[in-house]
Every structure is written in structure tokens, then in C-alpha cells.
A and B are shown apart, each in its own frame.
Chain A
Amino acid sequence: MQTNNSFSFHRLMLLFKQKLIINKRRYPLALAAFSGSLIISFVFAQTINNFGNWSNMHYVTTFISVFVIVGIAYSAFSFPPFRSKEKSMVYLMLPATNSEKFVFEILSRIVAFIVLMPILYWILANLEGAVFHYYFPELTNYKFSFRDGFLAIVKDGKFEFWALILTLQGILFMFIAPFAGAGYFSKSPLVKTLLTFSIIMLSYFLFAFLLDKSLNLEGLHPVGKNLIFFKDGQTVIKLMGIGMVIVNLSLLAIAWFSLKEKEA
């Protein structure tokens, strides 16, 4: 029988099944611990706000903080077998293609988090709100909705295409950067990834500063405009959007080649 050496959906499903069997005790515990922590955080924050001053915006702010922090931490633990040589050996010799293992990691680490985390948050926020409203009637704004969050992206009822692209790519970057770092670095991937990006950003700003000073670019400002080289803000957002797409694709390529060339 001819074996498919490119990509098999069946083997991808086997990877999911394997993950579920191995973690069948750990996942419910992690879910319970996360839900419990989140509910305690809501109660704590609502107590500080004296219940009555709690609003939907507080839920959104909390959501963004949790989404970013937990998301980065969760993505930074992608490719968990790479943390030890023994686990790496088992993982690399498992009969599934690199593309299946790569897609599995993206789906289980990034896509699953982005899809499931807001749903879980929405359920827990409304559940906690309803329960606490019963005991503390002064908690009047207890029904959480993501609508306000989306309204911040949509302007005048219309999608600003490149602003949306930039926002989405920015969100994806937060997950893809630690994901690539977890594939590239074996030990302490999150710390090393943050350090790497800090060095890149500092180098960039230093370079831009020196360029600005040495070429005296300040003199190029058109009268009454803050933008150099570009006609308007839309062009800047468009270029930044394209730039973020390229950066994210490059980071995914780094993660892919790290997996493909990984040795143990």
C-alpha cells in the first residue's frame, strides 16, 4: 500500500486523538484551574469596583489582558517535546509528516486558543455575572457582550480593510512570535523570544534615530504634516499591514524549518 508522505488528514486526527489520550486527566484539571482563576479575578475586580460601578468595558479590558498574557504563555509552550532530548526523539520519530505535526501545533496552540478562549470567557463572565447579580443586586451590568470590542475595530459601520488587516495581524503576531520561538529555542523559549524581539526592536529604533539625526530627516517634513515619505495615514496603515503579514509569514517559516531540521 502506498503511504502518503505529504499530508494525511487521518494522521492529523490521530495526532489529536493521541494528544487527548495522553492529556485526558490534565486537560479537565487545567480547564477547571483556569476557570476558577478567572471567576476569582472577576469577583476580585467587581469588589474593587464596588459591584455597582462594574461595566461591560471592564469585562473587555479584563478579556484583552487575559487573552494576551495567557495566549502568549500558551503559544510559548508550543512544540512541548522540544524541551528535552528524550521527548524530541519520540516526537521526531512518530510516523507523521512534518507538515501534519506543524499544522497540528498551529491548530492546537493558536487556532484553538483564539477560537475557544473568547467562548470560554464569554460563558464564565456571564455565568459569574448572573450568579453574583443574584446575591448582589447592585451588580447591574452583569451581561457581557463582545459587541463593544468589535465596535472599536469597525468605524462608522464600515470595515477599514487595512486597519482590520493590521489589527488581525497584530493579534496573530502575539501568538506566532512565541510559537516560532518555541520551535526555534529548546530551553526557556519565552524568555529567549522576548529577549530576541527586544534586541530587534531596540536595534531598529537606534538605527532609525541615528538615521534621522545623521541625515537630518526632520527637515523633510512637508509643511503642516507629520508624515515623512507617505501621502497620508492610510498608506502608512496599509504598509504596516503588509509588513505584519510578511513578518508573520516569516516567523511561521522559521517555526517550520526549525521543526524540519530539528535533530535530537
Chain B
Amino acid sequence: MIQIKDLHFAYPRQEVLFSNLSVRLEAGSITGLLGKNGAGKTSLLKLLTGLLHPISGELSVMDHQPRKREVSLLNDVFMVPEEFFFPSISIRDYVKAYTPFYPRFDHELLDRILIEFELGNERKLQRLSHGQKKKFLIAFAMATRCRLLVLDEPTNGLDIPSKALFRKILAGSLDEDQLVVISTHQVKDVENLIDKIIILDNGEVIFHQTIQEISQKVAFISGTSEEREAAIYSEAVPGGYRLMVPNGYEETEVDIELLFNAITNGHKIG
């Protein structure tokens, strides 16, 4: 679905952000895009959606060049940005004004998600809190049934129950022909949701594996200072250490935060 090869990008009068960036993503997954501040996560999402234009290299999304912003691509791509704007109208009017542009829009799904998020159709968008606006935008994004959903920090501003709801809705509403790319710093919010991890650092993809592949290679356990010796990477936590160890122990859930710190500190898991 997404093919990036030798992508070169820089903002005007700024240092090069991506040089020779290459990555390939297929439909049917929820991919977590991780990276430090300034690593280029949001820029990459904007390049995918045609909001930024690459300087050189190949960038193809569903066999389209996003920079051309062709309708056949735009009605199959939806981005939930970190900062967004809504006109001063009701949810009902927003739906009336925007849904005709999305041929696969699922009104029933929207109604269902809005009920789960406790958002009524008559509410004015400008009067909603930031978190409520974000929930509406996520609900709208899901209901477009776009094959590529790009979510930039989707859980920022959501309360704890809403974060759980977000995970439930996202996991339960996707089709196999859809790809979701989530950029986030709140890795705990997307644990048990994403099935693939990409880590960006210094303008390069330094890690790209599925959760299954990671689980087969390493385990994440709590341990003592003795066990720390055998760990690939460890971090002190109250009462001991969190360890990333070679597999051989029981299969564990992937601790994305620990994995991220290990990878960005130069450790490899094979």
C-alpha cells in the first residue's frame, strides 16, 4: 500500500530531515510510528498524505503520488492531525457537509462510535472540549472507511476511559484492506493495539518489525541486578529492573517503551 524508496526531504532553509528513507507497508495492519521529538514522524505522515512534497525519491500510496493530491487517493486517505480545526457548526451539519466527499462513508458506524463516545449529533463542535473534538474526529475518520488512516498523537487529550474505548473501537472497526499508521509518544496507549513498529531516528528507519517477530526474539521481564547481566537492555524501576532479554523465557507482552529506549540507544534484537 505504501512504498517509500530513497526519499529525500527537507524544510526550506533547514537541515535535511530525510535522506534515502525507505520503507514499505502493506494493508491489514496497525503500525506504530515511533521516534524522538524532531525525528520526523509528523513530517512523514504529512508526506504520506500529500501535505508536504518530497524533494526526491519515490513515494507511492495505493499507486498514487500523494503530492498530486488526486481525488482517487484523497477519498481513500484520512488524517487525524495533532492540532485540528472545526468550523462553528453542529456535528450533524459537519457530517452533512463533509461525508459526500467520502464514497465509502459508513453512517451507521459513525452513529455507533458517537454513542460509545457519548457525543450527540446536535452538539456544536466549537463548544466541545479538545478531547471531545478529538473523539469526534477519530469517529469521523473511522467512519470514512478510508483504506489509509493516519493518526498523529490520537490519544493526546483523551481521558482514561476514552483511551480504552479508542483502542476497542479501532481494533474492532477495521477491515483487512485498511492500514492505520499511528504516530505517538504515548506508547502505553497503543500497546496491545499495534501489530507493527517502526522507529525513526535521525531521518532513518532504524527499526521495522511486527510485534510477533519481536516476541519471538526477545522477552520483557522484571528482574534483579543479577539477571540484568544477561539482558540486552535494562532500566531501573522501583523495586528492581525492567529487562529486555533474549527469548528463551516465556512469551511476554512487548514493552514498547523499553523496546524503543533499547533501539534508540543502539541495541539490536536481531
Contact = CB atoms under 8 A, between A and B. Distances in A.
Contact of A86 (B52, B72, B81): B81
Give the bracket for the number of chain B residues in contact with chain A: 20 to 34
Contacts of B97: 17-18, 21-22
Interface string A55-67: 0000000000000
Nearest to A5: B70
Contacts of A94: 74, 98, 101
A244 B102 CA distance: 41
A5 B96 contact: no
A264 to B, nearest CB: 5
Given A14-B101, A93-B49, A21 B71 contact: no
Nearest to B81: A89
Nearest to B86: A90
B53 A90 contact: no
Interface residues of A, number: 28
Contacts of A85: 83
Contacts of B93: 21-22, 24
A263 B96 CA distance: 27
A95 B89 contact: no
Contacts of A186: none
Nearest to B87: A22
Contacts of B98: 18, 94
Contacts of A251: none
Given A14-B100, A263-B53, A95 B71 contact: yes
A22 B89 contact: yes
B83 A93 contact: no
Contacts of B20: none
Interface in B63-82: 69-72, 74-75, 77-79, 81
Contacts of B102: 95
B75 to A, nearest CB: 4
B106 to A, nearest CB: 16
A92 interface: yes
Given A86-B83, A95-B74, A97-B70, A263 B100 contact: no
A5 B79 CA distance: 20
B51 interface: yes
A10 to B, nearest CB: 9
A92 B89 contact: no
B167 interface: no
Interface of A: 1, 3-5, 8, 11, 14, 17-18, 21-22, 24, 84-87, 89-90, 92-98, 261, 263-264
Interface of B: 46, 49-53, 69-72, 74-75, 77-79, 81, 83-85, 87, 89, 93, 96-98, 100-103
6 shortest A-B CB distances, which residue pairs?
Answer: A86-B85, A95-B75, A3-B72, A95-B74, A21-B97, A18-B97
